[in-house]
């Protein structure tokens, strides 16, 4: 199949997202009388990504045919490339009746219309029209999507410890967009980023995926990617949805990203936040990141060493090889609609006061690096963080957060 047009059809975008972010009163009134499901954090992230077009061509949560095809074949049932299943899990195919009228539970059936509710505000976010309800094959999903059935993998742990037994597939009607209390000016939808890129007449845009604070090595890597793609603009697109347990909170990270942006040459970079719930799926996640960044208007995606890797398995081995994600995404480049740009890691050469890609470092050449663990220890103890590693304004943000 060819590369899908971002967002799908124009009419679908109009159907999914309420015009001018206004509440659809008619749908909201209907939802208040419907049975409902209170969404968890991952489901809210997935709903937002579907509704704003970040997960195009998805128009709703996956039905059983799409779920099975993605798990088994890395494609939707119609053959479109898709690497990680996106579904609405439900407990034993049951939901609760709305409006506090009853605590009675009901079995979900095809054709049901169910309100999807935000837990903190109790507001109706969307209505799903159920196409089917199906049991999840968790062992097969863990093995074929994430590589092995090992609870040390955060997505596998989530699958077995938090994901419910069944899933409800169906199309969505959005009542109100998912809203956030912070950083509204840089929470851009795909339509907004594409419009900004078009208005700026940017045709080559290289996206940088990250869930960690950025330091000098990251700046250097993105600048090298820009040079490699004939001066492409740099699209810093960090994940602020669910990431790996134990990651630095997104508020601190966003404040770091804002500081990093001041170190790029003027007019060369663009920052926007991505409400994605990461699965830390390594190779499969790299493909998903490519699809998502294509929808946001990027022409290229940086895929680095151990892209979206979750760390060690229960036996102390890496879940994925250091360049496994690069090798995997390369298989699909012709149909992704976005070109991957491959890097190893960059390291600091103190005698030359510069960074270099590790594969280009000569044997015996002195290098310096600071691990994430060492950085956290230095932040806690107040020990110096050298200027070759990070910028003063970045370190200031991190020290304030750790204080």
Residues recognised as catalytic = 210-212
φ and ψ of 205, to 5 deg: -135, 120
Cis ω for the linkage preceding 197 (within 30 of 0) = no
Written as one string, the DSSP assignment of 25-78 is: HHHHHHHTTS-EEE--HHHHHHHHHHHTTTTTT--EE--HHHHHHHHHHSB-TT
- DSSP structure class, residue 194: H
Task: Locate the DSSP E strands across 221-364.
Answer: 233-236, 269-271, 300-303, 339-342, 346-349, 354-357
Rounded Cα–Cα distance for residues 283 and 315 (Å): 20
Q: How would you class 12 by CB atoms within 10 Å of its CB: exposed for 0-12, middle for 13-18, buried for 19 or more?
A: middle
Is there a contact between 86 and 58 (Cβ–Cβ < 8 Å)?
Answer: yes
What 8-state DSSP symbol labels residue 318?
B
Question: What residues contact 395, with CB distance under 8 A and at least 6 apart?
Answer: 385
The Cα–Cα gap between 175 and 196 comes to: 26
Is the separation of the CB atoms in 72 and 85 below 8 Å? Answer: no
Q: Which pair of tokens denotes residue 386?
A: 């050298």
Indicate if the alpha-carbon torsion angle 295, 146, 217, 338 is positive or negative.
negative
The token duo for 178 is 């998912």
Helix/strand/coil for 362: coil
257 and 222 in contact (C-beta within 8 Å)? no
């Amino acid at each position: 199949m060819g590369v899908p047009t971002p967002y799908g059809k124009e009419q679908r975008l109009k159907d999914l997202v309420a015009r001018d972010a206004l509440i659809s009163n008619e749908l909201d009134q209907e939802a208040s009388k419907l049975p409902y499901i209170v969404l968890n954090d991952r489901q809210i992230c997935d709903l937002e990504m579907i509704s704003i077009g970040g997960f195009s061509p998805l128009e709703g949560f996956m039905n059983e045919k799409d779920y099975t095809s993605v798990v088994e074949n890395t494609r939707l049932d119609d053959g479109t490339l898709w690497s990680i299943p996106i579904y609405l899990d439900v407990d034993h195919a049951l939901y609760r009746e709305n409006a506090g009228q009853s605590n009675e539970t009901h079995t979900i059936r095809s054709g049901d219309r169910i309100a999807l509710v935000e837990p903190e505000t109790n507001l109706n976010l969307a209505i799903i029209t159920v196409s089917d309800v199906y049991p999840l094959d968790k062992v097969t999903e863990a093995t074929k999507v994430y590589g092995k059935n090992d609870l040390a993998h955060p997505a596998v742990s989530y699958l077995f410890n938090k994901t419910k037994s069944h899933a409800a597939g169906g199309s969505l009607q959005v009542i109100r967009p998912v809203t956030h209390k912070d950083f509204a000016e840089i929470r851009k939808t795909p339509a907004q980023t594409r419009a900004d890129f078009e208005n700026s007449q940017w045709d080559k845009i290289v996206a940088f995926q990250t869930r960690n604070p950025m330091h000098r090595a990251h700046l250097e890597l993105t600048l090298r990617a820009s040079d490699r793609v004939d001066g492409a603009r740099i699209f810093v697109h960090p994940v602020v949805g669910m990431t790996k347990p134990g990651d630095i909170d997104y508020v601190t990270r966003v404040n770091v990203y804002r500081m990093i942006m001041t170190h790029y040459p003027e007019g060369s970079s663009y920052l926007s936040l991505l409400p994605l719930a990461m699965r830390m799926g390594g190779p499969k996640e790299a493909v998903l990141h490519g699809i998502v960044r294509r929808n946001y208007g990027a022409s290229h995606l940086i895929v680095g060493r151990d892209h979206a890797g979750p760390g060690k398995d229960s036996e102390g081995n890496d879940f994925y090889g250091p360049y496994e994600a690069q090798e995997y995404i390369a298989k699909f480049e012709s149909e992704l609609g976005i070109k991957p740009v491959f890097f190893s890691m960059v390291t600091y050469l103190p005698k030359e006061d510069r960074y270099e890609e590790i594969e280009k470092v000569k044997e015996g050449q002195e290098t310096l690096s600071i691990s994430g663990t060492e950085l956290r220890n230095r932040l806690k103890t107040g020990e110096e963080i050298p200027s070759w590693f990070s910028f003063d304004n970045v370190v200031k943000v991190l020290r304030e957060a750790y204080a």
